[in-house]
């Protein structure tokens, strides 16, 4: 078909993303747009005399648009523009991996479906070219940030000098935050991470234009310059920023839970490697001990702040002395005494609450706790015993992170 030929010729010439929306607009006489996975507009073309204003360069679609359209080749809908509801046809770009969306505004005509299919194939090629350069830049940026996080650079001066090549001023104090989303009812975690990365980059920059973003595995790392006005005010500022970020991310990613771990605030960039370890620990422990909290600061962790500075062997020995016999007993007899003790400590030694969380009768709980006392040779009514056992569990958490 002629429409396929036009798109293929434009791709062969490397005319870019705008050529995709331009040809689509010329063939249909409808406004056409190309967005990323977060609905941020990357290219658009409008017929003469037609135009729309978009806040933050994004389409004003429902936040669950991509969930509604999942599994559909072409999605029909409407969106509010210029005080009215405007019909549209939309098609996802990419098959095995979602790269973005094409939109044709002002029509749901079935004749245009083939035009969208042809435009989508052209968009894949153009986006792949764009992403090659973006991925290379992101890889080099991540490698530099990794050198900072693992203390691989020789001095503070070396860090600041290399950062200047990226246009970053790391002579200023920066807060370090580790972010992740807990996956909900979606298909394809890769698509979720792509949306998460793009959303955090865009939203965080709105609140803090000098933000530095890197990613490692399935987590994002934010470096945020903060005002020199003391630890207290800086922490309040950072907490407000992260709360706002959490609200917007969860609104745009329905079914996903935003989590953040924050290291202590250091005034020198050569201490960020410590903040990174602290932020990871805060995120991991917060997930277990504070399940209702979205943002956990390292200095909320109490005694864990002292444990993290201990050597691995000391932590392993302490855990083995305190809880090793119970773990061994569970393995030999196929019992759940250690998980029972964990829930008992998490429930602040409240019998009723522990039994409720474990879905067992309180008498069954009492029997298990007596067995635990017998195996460990302790008295679970003694506060010192409870502190030691709880600390041993915290040591185990740290070992898992290390």
pLDDT in tens, 139-196: 999 999 999 999 999 999 999 999 999 999 999 899 999 999 876 544 345 667 878 8
Read off the DSSP letter of residue 271: G
Q: Is the pLDDT of residue 302 over 60?
A: yes
Q: Is the pLDDT of residue 383 over 70?
A: yes
The span from the CA of 218 to the CA of 40, in Å, is 22
Q: Is the pLDDT of residue 229 over 50?
A: yes
Q: Where in the chain is the domain with CATH 1.10.10.2840?
A: 312-401
The CATH code that applies to domain 150-301 is: 3.30.70.270
The span from the CA of 154 to the CA of 72, in Å, is 53
The pLDDT assigned to 185 comes to 43
> Which listed CATH number (3.40.50.740, 3.40.50.720, 3.40.50.1980, 3.30.450.40) goes with 2-129?
3.30.450.40
The pLDDT assigned to 63 comes to 64
The pLDDT assigned to 71 comes to 66
The span from the CA of 116 to the CA of 127, in Å, is 16
Confidence of residue 384 (pLDDT cuts 50, 70, 90): very high
pLDDT in tens, 329-374: 999 999 999 999 999 998 999 999 999 999 999 999 999 999 999 9
Q: What is the mean pLDDT of the chain?
A: 87
The CATH homologous superfamily for domain 312-401 is: PucR C-terminal helix-turn-helix domain (1.10.10.2840)
Region 86-102 average pLDDT: 86
Phi and psi torsions of 351, nearest 5°: -60, -50
The pLDDT assigned to 301 comes to 81
The pLDDT assigned to 187 comes to 39
Q: Is the pLDDT of residue 62 over 50?
A: yes
Q: Where in the chain is the domain with CATH 3.30.450.40?
A: 2-129
Question: What are the Cα distances from residue 182, in Å, to 26, 42, 59, 169?
Answer: 43, 28, 25, 32
What percent of the chain has pLDDT above 70? Answer: 92
Q: Where in the chain is the domain with CATH 3.30.70.270?
A: 150-301
Element (H, E) at 8: helix 2-13
């Amino acid at each position: 078909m002629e429409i396929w030929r036009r798109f293929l010729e434009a791709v062969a010439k490397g005319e870019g993303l705008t050529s995709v929306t331009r040809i689509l607009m010329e063939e249909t006489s409808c406004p056409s747009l190309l967005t990323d996975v977060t609905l941020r507009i990357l290219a658009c073309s409008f017929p003469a005399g037609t135009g729309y204003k978009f806040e933050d360069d994004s389409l004003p679609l429902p936040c669950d648009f991509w969930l509604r359209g999942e599994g559909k080749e072409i999605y029909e809908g409407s969106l509010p523009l210029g005080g009215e509801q405007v019909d549209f046809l939309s098609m996802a770009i990419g098959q095995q991996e979602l790269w973005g969306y094409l939109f044709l505004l002002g029509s749901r005509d079935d004749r245009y479906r083939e035009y969208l299919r042809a435009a989508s194939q052209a968009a894949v090629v153009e986006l792949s070219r764009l992403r090659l350069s973006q991925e290379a830049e992101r890889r080099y940026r991540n490698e530099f940030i990794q050198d900072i996080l693992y203390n691989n650079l020789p001095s503070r001066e070396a860090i600041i000098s290399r950062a200047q090549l990226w246009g970053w001023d790391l002579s200023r104090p920066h807060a370090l935050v580790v972010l992740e989303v807990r996956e909900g009812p979606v298909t394809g975690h890769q698509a979720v991470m792509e949306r998460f990365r793009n959303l955090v980059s865009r939203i965080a920059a709105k609140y803090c234009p000098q933000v530095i973003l890197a990613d490692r595995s399935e987590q994002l790392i934010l470096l945020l310059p903060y005002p020199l006005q003391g630890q207290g005010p800086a922490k309040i500022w950072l907490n407000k920023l992260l709360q706002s970020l959490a609200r917007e991310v969860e609104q745009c990613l329905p079914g996903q839970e935003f989590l953040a771990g924050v290291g202590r605030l250091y005034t020198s960039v050569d201490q960020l490697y410590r903040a990174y370890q602290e932020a990871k620990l805060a995120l991991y422990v917060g997930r277990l001990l504070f399940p209702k909290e979205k943002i956990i600061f390292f200095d909320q962790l109490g005694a864990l702040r002292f444990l993290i500075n201990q050597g691995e062997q000391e932590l392993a020995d302490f855990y083995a002395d305190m809880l090793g016999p119970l773990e061994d007993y569970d393995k030999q007899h196929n019992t759940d005494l250690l998980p029972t003790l964990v829930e008992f400590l998490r429930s602040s030694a409240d019998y009723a609450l522990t039994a409720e969380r474990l879905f067992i009768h309180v008498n069954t709980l009492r029997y298990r706790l007596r067995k635990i006392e017998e195996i460990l040779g302790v008295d679970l009514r003694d506060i010192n015993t409870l502190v030691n056992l709880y600390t041993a569990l915290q040591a185990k958490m740290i070992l898992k992170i290390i």
